[in-house]
Structure 1
Amino acid sequence: MHDEDLSGVEREQDAVRAARRIRATRRGLLVGGLALVALGGGALLVRQIRRSGGPAPAWTPLRAITPPDAPAALSPAVEAPGIDTAMMVWAHADDDIIFANPGLADAILSGATVRAVYVTAGDAGKGIDYAREREAGIRAAYDVMRGVTGEWDEREITLLSGARITRFVPADEPRLSISVLRLPDGGLDAKGFAATGNAGLTQLINGDAAELVPIDGGPAYDLPRLTATLAELLAAAAPRHVCTNVPHESAYAHGDHPDHSCVGSLVRASAPAVGLTAERMSYYLGYPSQDQPVNVTGAVLDAKVEVYRTYAADDPVVRCAEASTCLAQPGFGEWLRRTYPKTEAELRLS
């Protein structure tokens, strides 16, 4: 039917209906826009991941990292020596329980000393309160792995490097500790978040950002301070073994979170300064582990998922009430079913 065949009344009615459709569309766009703002970067990101079937991180070239000098004195971060000390240095508070378990849980159950360090706040631009929720979640996950729920002591430590870290130690078990640097999250696109100046580890390493300010307001890090801090923490722990993310130089870093590969490269560059040889290092595949065969099953998988579920109870972005719900999360479910440590010789370095 053409317009010229409509009566004046019909044309008026069509105009009213069209105006209503326009108003409804505008309301929908407004509500949708407000909803995106309310969700925040992290929650929106996870919903995108769930719809798409997994994350699609950006691949950004990374400059070579200049190794730091060895610490000149005994660090204030030194803790009591332990048995079979393992140093764990990760980009985010959950990298270890997703990618390095069941190895981490086995070490804790064996009585080994474990010193964990998380370099970024994993804040997704959502601020310190969200970062602290993640930190509470990882402490709860460690309680599950050690089989004891108790109080954790918290204190701030100013290092020789000038950095300030926050350390958590179970009041009843000093062989375990968690230290956080709370640097800004770099995001899947390696461009950071507006709330933290659109800068993260990628920009710091590549010289596009002169420094990064921790989201808790601590002293800023330039790249020499960051590598010196990592070397100092490694020396203070005196570990027998070091576990971290796969470095950027590895073919396995393609498709991984940019923060993961930045931290792997930072640790790999810093470790030799304190006498840690390649044989004492393990690098864990991150997102690309989903392309490898499943190797965590049965009761071991059940235990791993329970640790993750406990952590996720404090992380509103990935919260899952049941094990089946956790395993149904695209990306996360695949990573939980796998763990792939690599030696220096196995990294397929470019």
Structure 2
Amino acid sequence: MRPLLVRLVRDSSVTALAVLVLLCCTVLASPARAADCSAGTLVTVVAHLDDDLLFVDPAINERLNAGWCITTVHLIGGANGADFAYVLTRERASRLAYARMAGVPDEWIESTVMIGGKPLHQMVLKAKPQIRLLEFRLPGGAVRGGRVPLGLLWEQHATLFTYPMNADGTGRVKYDRDSLSAALKPILAQASLIYTLNPDTVPFIEHPDHIFSARITRHVAQTLGHSVPIVYHVTYPTGNWPANLPSAEVQRKRDIVASYFSIDGSEWSHVFGEFQWNGNWIARRYAFADRTDRRVPDFQSQPIQLFNVASSACLTSPGPDETPTLEACTGLPAQQWRWEPLTVYPGNTRNAALVSVATSQCIAELDGHLVAQRCDQWDMAQRWTPWDFGIVYTPQRHCLGENGGKLMMRGCTALTTRFRWASTQHTQSNDLRLATAMYGDVGGTGEQSAVYVQRRHDGPGFDVYVASLAKAAAPALWYASAVPFDPRATAPSCGADALCFDSARFLLGDFDGDGKTDLMVITARKGGTAFWLLRSTGERFDAPRLWLQTDTTFRPDLTQQYVAGHFDATQRAGVLIAQRRAGAGLDFWFASSQGSTGSAPTLLAEARDMQQNADLLPVQSASRAANSRTSLVALENVDGKLALTTIASDGTRLNIGKRRFLPASFMPDFVKAATGVMHGNDGNTLFLFTPHFDETGEDASIDIATLDMGNAASAPLHATALRGLAWPDVSPAFVSDKLGTALVLYRRTDATLGEFYFTGGAPALTRYTYSPGNAFAPGAAQDLGKLPGLFSETVRIDRLAQ
């Protein structure tokens, strides 16, 4: 990085003497060596001192690792009118986080520099001077309404004073719209690439400070006179969108953000979770790109969907002057909406109109009902608070929700997932890559048990619980993988041979052939894949032992899915590796078990035409004979259609059958599948679980269809419906043991969610005993009770893509 040119410009807020002092301090505090920025300079402009860490990274770290210089600009100091001490606390937290990102000691050179005629607080990392943090220390606004100083400055030409620039509480700086632009412009002028937040939304979908910081950045960047790539990052709504970062990046990012919150609030346990605000954003980065030479207005309205998480349905406008409804999502214009900003004072919560793209009408609330009307921005009945951590507030300050497939409005206390909304139907609730409980005879008694992995909040480790499927009983802790977290460490918490939740995948199988089901944990290691065997003693899982270490040919980031099963002539379960081929298709490799170790993988089949998003379900013969082989059924999303392919095992090869498509009513994004035993079908029955959509007003339910896999001409048949359950809240499985065959639902209870929770709820188990016959007729529900912990903390990614 070339030394910043210090320009002394006449400024009414800084005396000549102060300028000389600032210049002196700047020169004396300059780093001992200049940074080399020849690879490029990334300038990131955000509002608060954690926005860059939560919403932009790991993109910052990627550029750092590529040798770029990193300048991060925080416009806001502190938050919500906090005092100056909190500003300094947040800056200290940011320094620790960036030092951890760089992997060096937390030692910085702090100074005050003049940029665009204004003094800014600068922090340069000693060991890596290419990292520079610039603090404007402007006052911040509130997330849920109230005064928004940055919005007043930008939209109403207000004048703001910053927090002090000096540690003794002196040196406040005055800004208006022009002077803020003048100070930001020379910083952006150094950029090879600009990152900022999302300018194209309305408060309070995202924090008002986020939006205005991004609009200011875009506006100033458009005045640079040359073209620079600029990338905008979505913030709050991503908390209930599907995770989209690689597992290794997620683990690294959790370390960095937890280091930050070890100072800012001294509480970092929520960072290792997936149930509450900061923790939800770690595994996600959603952004859209542009260039600075494309002139666009401060705000561009984008069509969205309003997707109800519990019902899996979309808000729909049937026609002009009609009442909106909830319908199955189709993507048609009737389900496209815009939040249009209204003329209001920045910080006013009733700040947006809900406009139908299909009719251009606004939705009003009249006498407790919603109705489409001609838009009138001065009509208070059309003024909404658009979104607040998944909650939509109506003009009369009710909360919009769902009950029995119908829209409802009620008071905003004790809300459940029925009142959670997303701006897209692709959400965490229908992310089919996710898995929950596994099932196996871990005790060797002939009875199946549920095995689930629970995140720990004291670090990135996990606990493994075993729950009975025979009766309601407290689950037993069978293994604890505590991984210490040190907020001041420079090395990753999940290095070496540590087993961490986000970077591991899990399988159950009798890998040593002793009649008891064992746990296999799969991680990246030494450029390849490590398979760790945790043997079952009948009462607990032993400490992990390295069962197999592969070379770099096999890596978790190339493996769509791992499946445990009997694919060879041994009586021990091995591991099938569905490896992505270069370009398209999958290769099926098999690591056979030698007992305490695994053999090098051998190729069983090449599926050149199979979609890389395939979901592989094991199918075991109903005979359960000693020499029975595990086969597979592959479910694929092919151009928006659900297809299935049977894959038979002969003990040495996998024989891939012909793909067939299911009816269009089975939408790939809304089908959960399981295989099980039905009378006369030798176990080759596929069960398809879909949300139930109708207009009967009945409670949320799940439709179950069956498909005879042994008959190539068979079609799915509706078998039954499960009432009182929401499709996103259940993970279905079929188990067979000495107690018989049963449908088991590992499910989230419809629990009250916390203020900033996107997900949550207690996990529970329900068993439906299967009655033999020609039709699937599950018996009465047997409630096996709630389980300790949170449902969302037992949900993990099992496949690379869906």
**Normalised TM-score (structure 1):** 0.68
Conserved in 1, the CA contact under 8 Å of 2:44 and 2:195? yes
Number of the residue aligned with 2:205: 255
For the structure 1 residues 251 and 151, does the alpha-carbon distance in structure 2 shift closer, same or farther, using more than 3 Å as the test?
closer
Q: Which residue of 274, 289, 314 corresponds with 2:224?
A: 274
8 Å CA contact 2:71–2:133 kept in 1: the answer is: yes
Aligned equivalent of 2:125, options 170, 177, 183 = 170
How far apart in 2 are the matches of 1:258 and 1:288? 14
Equivalent position amino acid for 1:177 in 2? R
Q: Counterparts in 2 of 1:100-111, with a 5 A limit?
A: 100-111=56-67
Taking the aligned partners of 2:46 and 2:97, their CA distance within structure 1 comes to 15
Identical positions, percent = 26
Answer yes or no: is 1:239 the counterpart of 2:191. yes
**Which structure's CA Rg is the greater one?**
2
SS in 1 for 2:64: helix
* Residues in 2 aligned to 1:262 and 1:272: alpha-carbon distance in whole angstroms: 15
Unaligned runs of 5+ in 1: 1-72, 193-198
Q: CA deviation at 1:176?
A: 1.0
Equivalent residue number for residue 295 of structure 1: 244
Q: CA deviation at 1:233?
A: 1.7
- Secondary structure of 1:168 counterpart: strand
**Is the contact made by 2:163 and 2:173 (CA closer than 8 Å) also made in structure 1?**
no
Q: Is 1:311 the equivalent of 2:260?
A: yes
1:210: which partner in 2?
Answer: 158
Alignment-derived partner of residue 20 in structure 1:
none
Partner of 2:175: 221
The answer (yes or no) to whether the contact 1:184–1:214 under 8 Å persists in 2 is: yes
CA distance in 2, matches of 1:186, 1:144: 29
**CA distance in structure 2 between the aligned counterparts of 1:130 and 1:329, rounded to whole angstroms:** 26
* Mapping of residues 1-350 of structure 1, within 5 Å: 76=7, 82=37, 83-160=39-116, 162-192=117-147, 199-207=148-156, 210-216=158-164, 217-235=171-189, 238-247=190-199, 250-251=200-201, 255-277=205-227, 280-316=229-265, 319-320=267-268, 322=269, 326-328=272-274, 330-344=276-290, 349-350=300-301
C-alpha deviation, 1:169, in angstroms:
0.4
Find the aligned partners of 1:75 and 1:274 in 2 and give their Cα distance.
19
- Output the amino acid matched with 1:102: P
Deviation at 1:218, TM superposition (A): 2.1
Q: Deviations over 1:268-295 (max 9, x none)?
A: 0001222353x51001111122243211
Kindly tell me: are residues 190 and 80 of structure 1, through their superposed partners in 2, closer, same or farther at Cα, counting changes over 3 Å? farther
Q: 1:165 to 1:291 in 2, by over 3 A?
A: same
Q: Does the C-alpha gap of structure 1 residues 86 and 325 become closer, same or farther in structure 2, counting only changes over 3 Å?
A: closer
Gaps of 5+ in 2: 8-25, 165-170, 302-802
CA distance in 2, matches of 1:130, 1:332: 19
Task: Tell me: CA distance 1:252–1:84, structure 2 relative to 1, closer, same or farther (3 Å).
Answer: farther
Say which structure is richer in strand: 2
Q: Find the aligned partners of 1:251 and 1:214 in 2 and give their Cα distance.
A: 26
Number of residue pairs aligned between Structure 1 and Structure 2: 261
CA distance in 2, matches of 1:272, 1:75: 24
Q: Deviations over 1:206-250 (max 9, x none)?
A: 21x621100114221011111111112212xx1110000111xx1
Deviations 1:6-49 (A, max 9, x none): xxxxxxxxxxxxxxxxxxxxxxxxxxxxxxxxxxxxxxxxxxxx
Counterparts of 2:124 and 2:149, CA distance in 1 = 27
Instruction: Give the whole-Å Cα distance in 1 for the aligned partners of 2:144 and 2:109.
Output: 35
Structure number with the bigger relative contact order (C-alpha 8 A, sep ≥ 6) is 1
> TM-score normalised to the size of structure 2?
0.31
Aligned counterpart, 2:569: none
The verdict on how the C-alpha distance between 1:291 and 1:349 changes in structure 2, with shifts beyond 3 A counting, is farther
CA shift in 2, pair 1:212/1:252, >3 Å: closer
Cα separation, 1, equivalents of 2:272 and 2:74: 23
Amino acid at match of 2:67: G
Query: For residue 26 of structure 1, what is the aligned residue in structure 2?
Result: none
| Aligned amino acid, residue 341 of structure 1 | A
C-alpha contact 2:72 2:132 (8 A) present in aligned 1: yes
Cα shift at 1:189: 3.4
Return the alpha-carbon distance in structure 1 between the equivalents of residues 285 and 202 of structure 2: 13
Question: Alpha-carbon deviation of 1:131?
Answer: 1.0
| Distance (Å, rounded) in 2 between the aligned partners of 1:233 and 1:219 | 18
Distance 1:174 1:86 in 2: 14
**Native 8 Å contact 2:43 2:195 kept in 1:** yes
Bigger shift: 296-305 or 129-138? 296-305
SS state of the match for residue 274, structure 1? coil
* Residues 254 and 282, structure 2, Cα contact 8 Å, conserved in 1: yes
Instruction: Tell me, in whole angstroms, the C-alpha distance in 2 between the residues paired with 1:142 and 1:275.
Output: 31
Does the aligned pair in 2 maintain the 1:327–1:336 contact within 8 Å?
A: no
How far apart, in 2, do the equivalents of 1:109 and 1:142 lie? 13
How many angstroms apart in 1 are the aligned matches of 2:195 and 2:202?
16
Shift of 1:331: 1.6
The aligned counterpart of 2:393 is none
Task: Provide the secondary structure at the position in 1 that maps to 2:44.
Answer: strand
CA RMSD of aligned residues (A): 2.6
| Cα pair distance change 1:101/1:159, threshold 3 Å | closer
